[in-house]
Amino acid sequence: MVYCGKLSKGCEQCRFRKVRCDQRKPGCKRCENSGTTCPGYRDLGQLLFRDESARTIEKARRDAHVDSFDVVRFERSQSQSTSVTCVTDPALFLDPSLARPLQLPLRQMAANFFFNNFVVEGPQTTDTNYQLLVDMYQNHPDSAAVHAMEAVGLAGLSNISRDHKLRFEAQKRYGRALTRTNDSLGDPVQATSDLTAMSVLLLGQFESMIVESWDQYSRLIAHVEGASALLKLRGQEQFQRESGICMFMALRLQVLTYCMQRELPVPNCLLEGARALQDSPIERPRSSKVSLGDAYIRYVNVIAAIKTTGPPGQVDMQWLLEEVDYIDSVLQGWRLELNPDYDYTTVDVTAVTADEICDLPLADGTKAKRHIYKTKWSVHIWNKWRIMYMMLYKLKLDYNISNNRQQCEKAIREASMGICLSVPSLLASSRALTLIWPLYIISQEVLKYVC
């Protein structure tokens, strides 16, 4: 997605005549005076970034004269069958030494990749931050947050292209973002701003993308600890604004993921923040009347307590049983109180057209079924529920909490299958990256649980 610069907010008629538009709604004054119907106003959020990937690829192909081999081509007949023409030499696509001319300035390339691959649209006051990121990129081009966006975008490009020059440029922008963030944290006013919080969030994302060994993991640990301190510093005021709630939820997810991976207890600032979020006067979309975040926080604290206790024989089983039962009740309550707008339907693949869902080879495990969701955000929420459901029932098996092992294994299989059936709904979208974690969780399970 190429950043197209600042756009006129006027109606089409005024823009064509190149006159100032008063942007009155539903129609402007000039159109009214001229006796014409005002055509209305554009959605600038849709126009600010334009996906020019196809045009850029075509231009690069012409300029590089790479016409000696065929690109993989898919041809769909009226019967929806697919034929594939393979490349003459596939190694040409994989050789990292092949130089490809860059058709865009580096900053535009970074923004293009970042917004196209790491930014997802979703409901307001959620952890997607789509509109907030667009506003920051447009209005604060030299801020730490924008430099961090570019660092993440270039890091992603370098990962898929194996281009060390892009990795170096990403590190340079990371350095600029880090310097500006440290300066902002030293200012009492800027320290609690959304710009600073966003830069901290994106710096953490960058650090997780470039970790190549455990020796580098200490930097990510220090970052997450800093993010926790920042949430505490932002205090109760952040829950009085939509953007403040967005930043809290995004940073909370980052910190919770880290705590889960390291089996550490949830910081008190997140516990206090969760209560403040429930009491916030700002309305936000809810997938259910029951909070899924409560289950995650409780689970992370349980596995952290188990780690400090020692082997299974030393764990207070009565306490563990009570905690597991509580988390299970939260998960069941979430599903029972689900908002109908977030539900999905299960269909046979043969009954679905290509326009409705991505084509995938049929697998025996899915029994030719697919899930159809109303929004991609719903897929993300459901997979978060399935991840927690799987981990909880795996905990039951590990500590022999359940008297019915077959029921636990069945629960894990059903949640695993739900994740697999959700995959086509997210392919070819920026939400596809959210599949990495749930699919990783499935891959760690014993084969008999998921097959």
Q: In what helix (H) or strand (E) does residue 75 lie, and over which residues does it extend? A: strand 73-76
Beta bridge partners of 373: 344
Q: In what helix (H) or strand (E) does residue 371 lie, and over which residues does it extend? A: strand 369-373
Q: What is the pLDDT of residue 284?
A: 79
Q: In what helix (H) or strand (E) does residue 344 lie, and over which residues does it extend? A: strand 344-348
% residues pLDDT > 70 (the chain): 74
How many Cβ atoms from other residues are within 10 Å of residue 288's Cβ? Answer: 16
Q: Are residues 136 and 195 in the same domain?
A: yes
312-330 pLDDT tens trace: 667 888 999 999 999 999 9
Q: What is the pLDDT of residue 139?
A: 93
Q: Are residues 367 and 248 in the same domain?
A: no
Q: Are residues 231 and 116 in the same domain?
A: yes
169-209 pLDDT tens trace: 999 999 999 999 999 999 989 999 999 999 999 998 898 88
235-286 pLDDT tens trace: 999 999 888 988 998 899 888 988 888 888 999 999 998 889 888 888 877 8
Q: Are residues 266 and 390 in the same domain?
A: no
Higher pLDDT pick, 390 / 366:
390
Q: How many domains does the chain have?
A: 3
Domain housing 211:
104-280
pLDDT value at 73 more than 50: no
Residue 336 sits at φ, ψ, to 5 deg, of -70, -35
What are the start-end ranges of the E strands in 89-161?
none
Q: What is the pLDDT of residue 208?
A: 81
The Cα 260–Cα 427 span in angstroms is 26
Q: Are residues 120 and 212 in the same domain?
A: yes
Confidence of residue 90 (pLDDT cuts 50, 70, 90): very low
Q: Are residues 262 and 378 in the same domain?
A: no
Q: Are residues 155 and 274 in the same domain?
A: yes
Beta bridge partners of 264: none
Model confidence, pTM: 0.69
Q: What is the pLDDT of residue 311?
A: 66
338 in any annotated domain: yes
137-171 pLDDT tens trace: 999 999 999 999 999 999 999 988 888 899 999 99
Q: Are residues 127 and 275 in the same domain?
A: yes
Confidence of residue 54 (pLDDT cuts 50, 70, 90): low
Residue 270 · residue 253 · CB < 8 Å: no
Q: What is the pLDDT of residue 98?
A: 47
% residues pLDDT > 90 (the chain): 30
In sequence order, the 6+-apart residues with CB closer than 8 A to the CB of 357 are: 370, 372, 424, 425
Q: Are residues 442 and 366 in the same domain?
A: yes
The Cα 344–Cα 381 span in angstroms is 12
128 in any annotated domain: yes
